[in-house]
């Protein structure tokens, strides 16, 4: 019966290609993806999914569900569809969104017979303020047994890890004065920011290899002859494990406080974006998907590559068994977040990745539903890693 997935895919693959190309030509930034959401949810509604929009207080987020009347696992596919400013879909979210929708639709055609349920979650703003974070915190995955997303890349890779990340802002308030006539009356907020950078750079010698700290001065004053009374630095702070990251952030915050004491400025610390947890791949789920991807595509699937980025799928992986593998766009060395990457998504290679990826995702969902031993292994591994 699994072969029926290919039959169902053949019925819908041209529409999936059209939707992906439409998203490419009409990119929308995070939390502004209104037309993108409508395109995907209209298609899901057409295929008898129950759709709820605006979940977790995010207007462009959605949950689409197709429930059979037979017992079985609930399979969730996660759709991204936000673009990058000035680049468009340079991370291939046009492919990701349509792959997940396509996988959900073709698997839904079989669950009335084999049992189980299919969920497609629309997850806005992965590039900035990822909606998967509040989804993980607010119980959206409580009734989900596995969650999957498939990302395009220069080659196909197994699901691996990612770094936990906090986006921390340090805002210093000082006192302005004439920088030449009365500098002694001023408190230089920019000096605090400079001392913060110096302190962080001095700390780097004592950090683990996986820690990454990188920042900018987003506000450093307006005129050279005025002592800046307000200055802001924003940092991404990353580490392989959340527990390590928390310790590093505490050290950075202490440096920031010291910089304020040195100058007399007042410090305000805040998070300017949501925090991402490290990705924990479920190996049993990953092995099942990898086998299906090998069968559906004509590319080798390479071992997971070391990742120094951060993804909101990491938060999902702490509440439900999850994977985040990559599918090849058939161009080794292709760099994400570029216009060249975006353009690759609308080529024959991009369309092939879309179709093959949708089939691999759906096939994995099928295997989990019909193979209770596989589902048990996935759940057992997840529970063990959470301890």
Residue 298: the pLDDT is 83
27 neighbors 86 (Cβ within 8 angstroms): no
Whether the predicted pLDDT of 88 surpasses 90:
yes
Q: Any bridge partners for residue 75, and if so which?
A: 118, 146
309 band by pLDDT with thresholds 50, 70 and 90: confident
Whether the predicted pLDDT of 297 surpasses 70:
yes
The tokens describing 192, both together, are: 């605090």
Q: Look over the chain and give the mean of its residue pLDDT values, rounded to a whole number.
A: 96
Please count the CA atoms within 13 angstroms of the CA of 96 that sit on its side-chain side.
28
Residue 168: the pLDDT is 98
CATH of domain 164-271: 3.30.70.360
Give the dihedral sign, CA 21/25/30/35: negative
Q: What is the mean pLDDT of residues 165-171?
A: 97
DSSP string, 52-105: EESGGG-TT-EEEEEE-SS--PEEEEEE----BTTTBSTT-HHHHHHHHHHHHH
Give the ranges where the chain is alpha helix by DSSP (H).
4-25, 34-46, 93-114, 132-137, 189-203, 242-263, 283-296, 313-317, 339-344, 348-370, 372-386
The Cα 287–Cα 323 span in angstroms is 10
203 neighbors 249 (Cβ within 8 angstroms): no
Q: What is the mean pLDDT of residues 309-320?
A: 95
Residue 386: the pLDDT is 83
32 band by pLDDT with thresholds 50, 70 and 90: very high
119 band by pLDDT with thresholds 50, 70 and 90: very high
Sorted by where each begins, the domain ranges of the chain are 4-162+278-386, 164-271
Residue 45: the pLDDT is 98
Burial code (b: 16+ CB inside 10 Å, e: under 16) for 152-180 equals bbbbbbbbbbbbbbbbbbbbbbbbbbebe
Please count the CA atoms within 13 angstroms of the CA of 156 that sit on its side-chain side.
24
Whether the predicted pLDDT of 184 surpasses 70:
yes
387 band by pLDDT with thresholds 50, 70 and 90: low
CATH 3.90.180.10 is right for the domain spanning 4-162+278-386: no
* pTM for the predicted model, two decimal places: 0.92
Residue 308: the pLDDT is 82
Residue 306: the pLDDT is 80
**Could you tell me the CA-to-CA distances from 316 to 8, 112, 136, 197, 241 in Å, in that order?**
29, 27, 6, 33, 15
pLDDT digits (tens, 9 = 90+) for 90-113: 999 999 999 999 999 999 999 999
**Could you tell me the CA-to-CA distances from 275 to 63, 292, 310 in Å, in that order?**
22, 32, 9
């Amino acid at each position: 019966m699994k072969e029926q997935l290919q039959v169902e895919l053949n019925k819908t693959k041209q529409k999936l290609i059209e939707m992906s190309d439409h998203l490419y030509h009409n990119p929308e930034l995070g939390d502004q993806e209104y037309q993108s959401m409508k395109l995907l949810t209209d298609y899901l509604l057409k295929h008898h999914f129950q759709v709820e929009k605006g979940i977790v207080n995010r207007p462009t987020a959605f949950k689409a569900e197709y429930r059979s009347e037979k017992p079985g696992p609930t399979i969730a596919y996660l759709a991204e569809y936000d673009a990058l400013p000035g680049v468009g879909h340079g991370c291939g979210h046009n492919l990701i969104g349509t792959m997940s929708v396509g996988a959900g639709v073709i698997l839904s055609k079989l669950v009335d017979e084999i049992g189980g349920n299919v969920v497609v979650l629309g997850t806005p703003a992965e590039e900035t303020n990822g909606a998967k974070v509040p989804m993980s915190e607010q119980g959206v995955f409580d009734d989900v047994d596995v969650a999957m997303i498939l990302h395009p890349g220069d080659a196909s890779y197994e699901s691996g890890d990612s770094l936990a990340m906090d986006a921390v802002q340090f805002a210093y308030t000082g006192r302005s004065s004439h920088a030449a006539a009365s500098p002694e009356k001023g408190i230089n907020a920019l000096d605090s920011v400079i001392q913060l950078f110096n302190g962080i750079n001095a700390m780097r010698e004592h950090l683990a290899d996986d820690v990454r700290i990188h920042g900018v001065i987003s506000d450093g004053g307006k005129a050279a002859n005025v002592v800046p009374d307000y200055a802001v630095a924003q940092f991404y702070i990353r580490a392989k494990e959340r527990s390590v990251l928390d310790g590093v952030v505490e050290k950075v915050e202490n440096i920031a406080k010291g910089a304020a004491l040195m100058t007399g400025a007042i410090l305000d610390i805040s998070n300017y974006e949501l925090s991402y947890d490290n990705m924990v791949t479920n190996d049993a789920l990953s092995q099942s998907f990898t086998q299906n991807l090998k069968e559906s595509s004509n590319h080798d699937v390479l071992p997971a590559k070391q990742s120094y980025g951060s993804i909101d799928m990491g938060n999902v992986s702490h509440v439900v068994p999850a994977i985040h593998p990559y599918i090849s766009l058939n161009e080794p060395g292709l760099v994400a977040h570029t216009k060249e990457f975006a353009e690759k998504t609308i080529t024959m290679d991009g369309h092939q990745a879309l179709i093959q990826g949708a089939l691999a995702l759906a096939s994995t969902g099928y295997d989990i539903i019909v193979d209770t031993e596989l589902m048990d292994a996935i759940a057992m591994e997840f529970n063990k890693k959470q301890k």
